[in-house]
Structure 1
Amino acid sequence: MRITADLDRCVGAGQCVLTEPTVFDQSDDDGTVIVLRSAPEDAETIGRVREAIRICPSQALALAEPAA
């Protein structure tokens, strides 16, 4: 799994950071998302990443599943 962020869509709401601060941060310059760990491995973190993606108001985050 790999997290991607579309910085052109990000509005800097920070919901991702509040949901999983070990994976997401915000730029000091414009508040857009910074992905700290693009490939989380443990199930708890992946669950919180999925929640952050779900609640992102601009739908700027995605989780790419590995090809089967």
Structure 2
Amino acid sequence: MKVTVEEDRCCGAGSCVLVAPEVFDQREDDGIVLVLDERPPAERHRAVREAVAVCPTSTISVAEVAR
């Protein structure tokens, strides 16, 4: 899995951070999403997919990639 975000679409809601704090964080100055781990391990994939689902602006996307 590879995680990408479109920072210009992020509204700073923080839903992703609540669901997957090991993978996402927010910039202090404006709350925009930061990806901490763009290739998270398999045990975090479920949480990342949930973060994608709850993102109010569809900022986060994932692509399945071979390891």
The aligned length equals 66
The one-character-per-residue Cα deviations of 1:15-35 (angstroms, maximum 9, x if unpaired) are 000001011000001100000
Matched to 2:59, the amino acid is A
Match of residue 25 from structure 1: 25
Aligned Cα RMSD in Å?
1.1
* Partner SS for 1:8: helix
Uncovered stretches (5+) of structure 2, i.e. residues with no partner:
none
More helix by share: 2
Partner of 1:10: 10
Map residues 1-68 of structure 1 onto 2, 5 A cutoff: 1-43=1-43, 45-66=44-65
Q: CA deviation at 1:57?
A: 0.1
- 1:33 alignment partner AA: V
- Residue segments in structure 1 that go unaligned for 5+ positions in a row: none
Equivalent position amino acid for 2:16 in 1: C
Shift >4 Å, 4+ stretches: none
Amino acid at match of 1:12: G
TM-score, normalisation: structure 2: 0.93
